[in-house]
Chain A
Amino acid sequence: METNLCVAGFGGQGVMTLGKFLASATCDSTNKNVTFFPSYGAEQRGGTANCFVVISDETIGAPLGDVMDDLVIMNGPSLQKFLPTLKQGGTLFINSSIVTDEIERSDVKIVKAPVTELALELGNAKVLNVIMLGAYVGYTNVIDPEIVWSTIEHKLKNKPKLLPLNKLAFERGLLIGQSQR
């Protein structure tokens, strides 16, 4: 069993961090093979950024597949670019706050999460990726949410002030994901 995930958005939306949290949690808590591969241009912010996470029971060949099982889309341009790579019956997670385009495919499942709005409601626009990670984990159950949270906790150990906000964000996302199952 192999799961190919692509996370795509603008630089600065935490796209890489989302993928890294998920992949690290998988490495720390399972015997599965896992790869994380980032892809970005020369820009730090504003350019397109995407990453690929592969989780597999077997040896992983390509760290970026041609066909995605799941797709997390954080902005409009990424939808145009990556929607064709999503397999039939795959799941599209979408930042419905800013991606308002009609989804031109009826053969995929869609999970909508208004993560930009929710992050602003929580008081920090930067946590939109953690909300989305929660939604992804909550919907797919690909890995125990507790383990993902402990990975986030570990990664943020030098910034303990940020933990309560991230905890709220992650839990908010989990609920969104679980409710759309």
Chain B
Amino acid sequence: MSRVFMKGCEAIAEAAVRAGCRFFAGYPITPQNEIPEYFARRMPEVSGNFVQGESEVASVNMVYGAASAGVRSMTSSSSPGIALKSEGISYCASARIPMVYVNVSRGGPGVGSIQPAQMDYFQATKASGNGGFQMLVFAPASVQEAVDMTYQAFDYADRDRNPVLILADGVIGTMMEPVVLPEMKTDEEIASIKESKKSWSCIGHSLDLANRSWIQPGHWKTSDMQVANEEAAALYTSWEKEAQAEEYLIEDAEVVITAYGISARIAKAAVDLLRKEGIKVGLIRAITVQPFPYNAFDHIDYNKVKAILDVEMSIPAQFVTDVETGVKGRCPIETCLCSGGNIISREAVMEAIRKMVSK
């Protein structure tokens, strides 16, 4: 397959189309506008539907509706917009509706800034809405990874009947890179995916009041609600083995950097340069941030490692709390942070490491 030069947002949208996504609703916000823009042009070509909703809340609920009808559906937004969508996402989680959404995150809190940031970590992994539901959350570090994760996200969503989140950032969303796009699913494949959801989805059953499909984001009877929550909790527990991390040069490392998304990619470049200086440094990159790859931190040789450096584009640090859980006090953890729309500097990471090893 030949590579094409695409902007992250556009590549994400094309990957979704190729995965069989045939409904997208969204509302404009920087830096993810190229996702709805791309869908607006592309959906009519594949007989799909694009709607620019009147708001974030409207568009996420349109996705709730379309996905309830068995169609692979998606929405996207950026930080404050994702906050507004949290109601609909929670409803999808409660009703066990498969949908995919993308957060091309920017500075926060509040309206924050339109530049890239990683300030939505807790929101993405701990509380994406009310009610304590959980989702698989993928954190791409390149446009290619954003494409591959988006493509697979629809399979995961359907398998689990649960929302899946792609936690990107403004760098991944707005940068252009060569990518190899996945295969386009055929109309037959898309029809059979829809058919496979017939047991629960509202796809036009003949009039049969006893056996009609019924989608509801909650239960009137407390006993039913508890059963639903127990089933969901069992699903969340089953994900433990699906946690993914990249472990890079950690065997002999004196300092291990840990990060996710764009920060991890920049930190990895710092690792390569520091290795050339003779500094033994490695990297643990979380590829899934939910479930979190706690086990990766058991692969560190704590007899050799002096400390761990948490690198993230968030002040205060958020990702570090999961790192602490993984490290279990076996060595000190320091941070190298930036925020507000500033992008982590490779030089700053290198300087932090040099300081740590010279101590």
Contacts and interface: CB of A to CB of B under 8 A. Distances in A.
Interface of A: 20, 23-24, 27-28, 33-39, 41-42, 60-67
Given A61-B266, A66-B345, A67-B347, 20 more contacts: A27-B4, A27-B178, A28-B5, A33-B177, A34-B5, A34-B178, A36-B5, A36-B176, A37-B174, A37-B176, A39-B115, A42-B114, A60-B269, A61-B267, A61-B268, A61-B270, A62-B343, A62-B345, A62-B346, A65-B346
Interface residues of B, number: 23
Contacts of B268: 61
Contact of A61 (B115, B175, B178, B346): B346
- Pick the most buried of A28, A33, A39, A61: most chain B CB atoms within 10 A of its CB: A61
B174 A38 contact: yes
A23 B272 contact: no
Contacts of A23: 5, 176
B330 interface: no
B265 A34 contact: no
Nearest to B345: A66
A119 B115 CA distance: 32
A38 B34 CA distance: 13
B21 to A, nearest CB: 25
A27 B7 CA distance: 13
Contacts of B345: 62, 66
B171 interface: yes
Given A24-B5, A37-B171, A62 B176 contact: no
B176 A20 contact: yes
A27 B3 contact: yes
Nearest to A27: B5
Nearest to A38: B174
Interface in B166-217: 171, 174-178
Contacts of A64: 343
A8 B345 CA distance: 19
Most chain B CB within 10 A, of A23, A24, A35, A42, is at A35
26 contacts: A23-B176, A27-B3, A27-B4, A27-B5, A27-B178, A28-B5, A33-B177, A33-B178, A34-B177, A35-B177, A37-B174, A38-B174, A38-B175, A41-B114, A61-B265, A61-B267, A61-B269, A61-B270, A61-B272, A62-B266, A62-B346, A63-B171, A63-B177, A64-B343, A65-B346, A66-B346
A97 B115 CA distance: 31
Contacts of A60: 269
A96 B347 CA distance: 31
Nearest to B6: A27
B264 to A, nearest CB: 10
B109 to A, nearest CB: 19
A34 B30 CA distance: 24
A45 to B, nearest CB: 16
A171 B202 CA distance: 61
Nearest to A64: B343
Nearest to B141: A61
Nearest to B270: A61
Contacts of B30: 42
A23 B347 CA distance: 24
B175 A37 contact: yes
Contacts of B343: 62, 64
A66 B175 contact: no
